[in-house]
Amino acid sequence: MTVSYAAVDGLHVELDDRGVLRLRLDRPQRRNALDDTMVAGLVDAVDAAGHDEHVRVIVVEGAGDHFCGGFDILARNAPADAPRPRAGSIQRRLPSQSHRLVPLLVSVQTPVVCRVQGWCAGIGLHLALAADFAIVADDARLWEPFTERGFTPDSGGTWLLPRRIGEVRARELLLLGRVLEGREALEWGLAHRSVPVGDLDAAVEEVVAHLAAGPTVALGLTKWLLHAGRTAGIDDHLRDEAFALELSSRSDDFREGIAAFAEKRPPRFSGR
């Protein structure tokens, strides 16, 4: 089955011949702040990639000087003469928007890499946290702006941060609004690599190339095990490991890996 990917206003989508799906936030004049259309486009692309056998890596990046300044709340709240939404509109809207996007990034059995430069705030930070690899510029600025704006976090910030960096540091970001630079984000375990901004493309490409040439089935199942293991007991998790091992050992890449080991050569994984 051929899967098609469509760009939408503010989101560029491209799949290359290596199986790398690039999702580029493309509103540089607004620091790539997300709107409803962009979130829907991201949801559709990530969901489709999860069952597209051609996709081996997803890259999320931002055009221009910034990764993502958060959600464009000014645009949503700008019309002074617009009718006030009914009570509960946020609670009804979020499950099909950002509260669908973040779990998709966390659970999709395709490695996700985020390229982060400039401002990375709010939902933008949560996209980086939900990714498997966040490669950040040394001078990137990572920020949770919610309490400074007078409202509470959304899009998984209060779930992702404590699991990634611990509760003490999560409180410093979420309650005190501390801005982290890319170097600090690496030290805190929030990012996977921090490099000078001029080296960002090369650092991202190194990780992407490694994943795109890897054993896609085994990588996807390993990501699933890491996610499922957050809430599973040891007995349930060992059953999941046995299940994943059964599936991965039936893949073409497993046979290639064994042959390469026996022949003392690097494996040439096909992603199948």
Quote the pLDDT of residue 31: 97
Structure token digits, residue 66 = 């910034």
88 pLDDT exceeds 70? no
pLDDT, tens digit, 9 for 90 and up, residues 241-254: 999 999 999 999 99
Tokens coding 193: 């690599």
Range of lowest pLDDT (42-46, 48-52, 146-150, 252-256): 146-150
Kindly state the tokens that stand for 230.
């957050």
**Mean pLDDT value across residues 174-187:** 97
> Does the pLDDT of residue 46 top 60, yes or no?
yes
Model confidence band, residue 192 (pLDDT cutoffs 50, 70, 90): very high
Q: Given phi > 0 = left and psi -120 to 50 = alpha, else beta, which region is 24?
A: beta
Q: What pLDDT sits at residue 1?
A: 65
Give per-residue pLDDT as tens, 115-174. 999 999 999 999 999 999 999 999 999 999 999 889 899 999 999 999 999 999 999 999
CA distance 85 to 125: 27
- Give me the pLDDT at residue 72, please: 87
- Under 8 Å between Cβ of 24 and 62: yes
Confidence check: pLDDT of 236 > 60: yes
Residue-level length of the chain: 272
Closest of 190, 194, 197, 253 to residue 220, by C-alpha = 253
Give yes or no for a contact between 200 and 140, defined as CB atoms under 8 angstroms apart.
Answer: no
Q: Across all residues in the chain, what is the average pLDDT?
A: 93
Question: Which H or E run contains 145?
Answer: none
Q: What percent of the chain has pLDDT over 90?
A: 86
Mean pLDDT of 226-247: 96
pTM of the model: 0.92
Average pLDDT over residues 104-123: 97
Split at pLDDT 50, 70, 90, the class of 98 is confident
Longest Cα–Cα distance of the chain, Å, equals: 72
Rounded alpha-carbon distances, angstroms, from residue 20 to 6, 13, 33: 15, 11, 23
Q: Is it the case that residue 75 has pLDDT exceeding 80?
A: no
Read off the pLDDT band of 63 (50, 70, 90): very high
* Secondary-structure breakdown of the chain: helix, strand, coil percentages, each rounded to the nearest 5: 50, 15, 35
CB of 240 closer than 8 Å to CB of 228? yes
